[in-house]
Amino acid sequence: MTSAAPTSRHRLAEIGALLAEPARAGILLALIDGSARPAGELAALAGVAPATASAHLQRLVAGGLLALHAQGRHRYFRLAGEDVAHLVETLALAGAHAPAAAAVSPADTPLRRARTCYRHLAGRLGVALFERLRERDALELGSDAIRLSAAGARWLHDAGLFDDDEGLALAGRSCVDWTERRFHLAGALGNRLAERLFERGWLRPRRDSRALALGARGDAGLRALGIDWTRL
Amino acid sequence: MTSAAPTSRHRLAEIGALLAEPARAGILLALIDGSARPAGELAALAGVAPATASAHLQRLVAGGLLALHAQGRHRYFRLAGEDVAHLVETLALAGAHAPAAAAVSPADTPLRRARTCYRHLAGRLGVALFERLRERDALELGSDAIRLSAAGARWLHDAGLFDDDEGLALAGRSCVDWTERRFHLAGALGNRLAERLFERGWLRPRRDSRALALGARGDAGLRALGIDWTRL
DNA sequence: GCGTCGTTTCGGCCGCCGCCGAAGCGTCCC
DNA sequence: GGGACGCTTCGGCGGCGGCCGAAACGACGC
């Protein structure tokens, strides 16, 4: 009985150990919207002294979960990639199982309505957008990704979001939303879509929160896609 | 700046801590094919004394990752659910990133050709089956799952796999294969499909391995679905 | 009933790691 | 250059937890 995974279990344990501390878990969760934050801010967020946070950040970078970007006397940390974000969300989702909806209920309504998850959209808006894309046959289930159909590219172009044929080459991925328990669009395609929604002024970030607010041109735009923001 | 996730980071850390030890990670990986194994066997697999394994198993059960099924003087442990299997695979996949394919190369060819992942099919066969289902428009991307289309149900029925309209109500999920890096079918629908392949004698498990062998009626059956086992 | 076997509990050892304050280093600004 | 600031390194403390052998427990088979 040669154990089937001689080395992989060590790597698995390694990743587990990186998440095993509330301070580190808090740091990862604080970065899950794709933002980059300086060490001091992360220390405050995690509730530990700068010295402690520094050690944690060092370990997270060494473990490949965080990327580091030094700028002047600040050192900005962000998640090393989308797969890390996906990993953390998967784990957080699994950890929440039963009391998930209850735990997020009262003050977090804007968060549940629309927020960023790494660099794509989540919350009810993310789910609604995914549903509309499905209904319009805008998505094709590929063998290694979810891609935009020709009809989908046309639809998004007509809505003023995408340039011509933009997005046809982008690989998307479905991602289970941890508040809504339904699919939304992630991956490169999901990221681009979110990016365009910001550029076009349909959505804008709120300060100090992952939640999103409706931009000046957002209501009309979303309505043209068949989504009513006020009823989300 | 109220930290956005007051409690969830503790739960995340909790799960991380459960994975953080190579012995526990090994136990989880040993159970990822959905099998149930007695404590002693898991101790040997993890390379620790029975006493140590017992403590680990206790923690894993308390943490909700393992389920326990006592039978006589044996106590069988298995993963608590498919979401746990998905979680472990996601983590193992993320941990492997670069050297994944290399690490599995030589002796594991049967494993890469066809194996079980929890209770559904993976490996090249799993991927090929998913591709054929896609090509036949047998799958529909739902808002919370991948479901069988009417055409798909008919196709699988005609192939002698499913009973009438069986599987229309089952929720499937796509799952990224960690050797092939492509989608295959998981979830209840994927499980049922794998189950039928065993029942019909198309596939059978190998001893002491997650790899699968071709059953007596498998070659003809798969060929009728457009899959050539010998070229997988 | 009595050994055997699978499993758990107990006790003790040891190492790893999180935590902090203080000190050191580099950057920025005046 | 001097001082403020952001961050890291160092040193030391404390606790959690992994590991094992020995012993206890319960089920099975004769």
Contact B96/A at CB under 8 A:
yes
Residues of B in contact with A208 (CB under 8 A): 1
Distance (Å, whole) CA B189 – CA B170? 5
Give the strand pairing for A74-79 and A37-38.
antiparallel
Distance D21 C1' – A64 CA (angstroms)? 39
Cβ separation of B15 and A95 shorter than 8 Å?
yes
> What is the percentage of chain B residues whose pLDDT exceeds 90?
70
Lowest mean pLDDT among A107-116, A182-191, B67-76: A107-116
Cβ separation of B182 and A143 shorter than 8 Å?
yes
Question: What's residue B193's pLDDT?
Answer: 97
* Chain centre distance of CA B77: 16
Residue A97 has pLDDT above 60, yes or no: no
How far off is chain A from B34, nearest CA to CA, in Å?
15
Distance C8 C1' – A19 CA (angstroms)? 29
Nucleotide nearest A52 (Cα, C1'): C19
Question: What's residue B68's pLDDT?
Answer: 96
Under the banding of pLDDT at 50, 70 and 90, the label for residue A50 is very high
How far the first Cα of chain B sits from its last, in Å, is: 55
pLDDT in tens, B176-203: 887 788 999 999 999 999 999 999 999 9
Q: Quick one: tokens of B42?
A: 């898991």
Distance (Å, whole) CA A30 – CA B2? 11
Longest Cα pair distance anywhere in chain B, in angstroms? 64
DSSP A215: -
Mean local confidence (pLDDT), B27-54: 95
CB distance B19 to B60 below 8 Å:
no
**B164 vs B49 pLDDT, higher one:** B49
Q: Quick one: tokens of A24?
A: 């580190």
Contact B226/A at CB under 8 A:
no
Distance (Å, whole) CA B216 – CA B77? 32
Residue B107 has pLDDT above 70, yes or no: no
Distance (Å, whole) CA A159 – CA B29? 47
The SS3 assignment for B74 reads strand
Residues 6+ apart with CB under 8 A from A167: A148, A152, A153, A156, A189, A192, A193
Residue of A nearest to B89 (CA): A12
Residue A101 has pLDDT above 70, yes or no: no
Does B48 contact strand D, using a CB cutoff of 7 Å? yes
Question: What's residue A108's pLDDT?
Answer: 64
CB distance A122 to A128 below 8 Å:
no
Strand partners, A187: A172
Question: What's residue A91's pLDDT?
Answer: 86
How far off is chain B from A26, nearest CA to CA, in Å?
5
Does A97 contact strand D, using a CB cutoff of 7 Å? no
Q: Would you list the domain boundaries of chain B? A: 11-81, 109-231
Question: What's residue A41's pLDDT?
Answer: 96
Q: A8-80 in CATH: which number?
A: 1.10.10.10
Tokens 């890469």 found at: B112
Distance (Å, whole) CA B148 – CA B172? 8
User: What ranges in A109-167 are assigned the alpha helix state H?
Assistant: 109-113, 123-135, 150-158
How far apart, in Å, are the Cα atoms of B91 and each of A65, A117, A211, B17? 12, 18, 27, 13
Nucleotide nearest B22 (Cα, C1'): D18
Does B232 contact strand D, using a CB cutoff of 7 Å? no
Q: What is the signed CA dihedral for B199, B201, B203, B209, rounded to 10 degrees?
A: 80
* Chain centre distance of CA A231: 23
Three-point CA angle A139, A142, A143, nearest 5°: 165
The SS3 assignment for B147 reads strand
Distance (Å, whole) CA A83 – CA A210? 19
pLDDT in tens, A170-228: 999 998 887 788 899 999 999 999 999 999 999 998 876 788 999 999 999 999 999 99
Distance (Å, whole) CA A12 – CA B93? 9
Distance (Å, whole) CA B112 – CA B180? 8
Lowest mean pLDDT among A6-20, A52-66, B141-155: A6-20
Three-point CA angle A208, A210, A214, nearest 5°: 100
User: What ranges in A47-148 are assigned the alpha helix state H?
Assistant: 50-62, 82-96, 100-103, 109-113, 123-135
Mean local confidence (pLDDT), B149-173: 93
Q: Quick one: tokens of A41?
A: 């801010």
Residue nearest to nucleotide C25 (CA to C1'): A73
Q: 3.40.50.2000, 3.30.450.20, 1.10.10.10, 3.40.30.10: which CATH number matches B11-81?
A: 1.10.10.10
Ramachandran category for residue B78: left, alpha or beta (phi over 0 → left; psi -120 to 50 → alpha): beta
Out of A95, A130, A143, name the one closest to residue B14 (CB). Answer: A95
Distance (Å, whole) CA B143 – CA A135? 10
Q: H helices then E strands: how many in chain B?
A: 11, 11
Contact A67/B at CB under 8 A:
no
Distance (Å, whole) CA A179 – CA A104? 8
Residue of A nearest to B182 (CA): A144
Restricting to B residues 13-52, those with a Cβ less than 8 Å away from any Cβ of A are: 13-22, 24-26, 28-30, 44-47
Residue B95 has pLDDT above 90, yes or no: no
Question: What's residue A217's pLDDT?
Answer: 93
Contact A62/B at CB under 8 A:
no
Out of A12, A96, A209, name the one closest to residue B25 (CB). Answer: A12
Out of A19, A143, A209, name the one closest to residue B134 (CB). Answer: A143
Restricting to B residues 170-199, those with a Cβ less than 8 Å away from any Cβ of A are: 174, 181-183
How far off is chain B from A224, nearest CA to CA, in Å?
21
